[in-house]
Amino acid sequence: MGRCPKCGAEIDHLWFKENRASWYLFRVIDGESNYEYDEDEEAVPYGFYCPNCWELVCEDEEDAVEILERESNSPRAWEI
Ligand SMILES: [Zn+2]
């Protein structure tokens, strides 16, 4: 079990957000459905997000592993 460095919540997973625009312009052109990527849209920062506070906690997988594994090798606060 890991711990979120931002809110302190115990977490066993993180959410990974890709640096991909999530909005597409949808039109029907000549009877065909058409999705158009809006290149001007500001990219959402990619990285690993805490499932509790939804803060960006890190960007590298290495750091994400460290966050999730950190607590498993050390005694937990309530067990001391
Ligand atoms: Zn958090």
Residue 71: what pLDDT?
62
Range of the domain at 48: 2-79
Domain total of the chain = 1
The per-residue pLDDT for 17 is 82
**Predicted local confidence at residue 48, as pLDDT:** 93
At 61 the pLDDT is 92
Q: How far is the centre of ligand 1, averaged over its atoms, from the C-alpha of 79 (Å)?
A: 22
9 C-alpha to center of ligand 1: Å? 6
Look at residue 53 in the predicted model and tell me its pLDDT.
96
Rounded average pLDDT per 10-residue block, the chain, 80 residues: 94 84 80 81 77 94 92 51
Q: What is the pTM of this model?
A: 0.58
Question: Angle at Cα 7 formed by Cα 57 and Cα 48, nearest 5°?
Answer: 20
C-alpha of residue 51 to centroid of ligand 1, in Å: 7
Measured in Å, residue 75 CA sits from the centre of ligand 1 at: 20
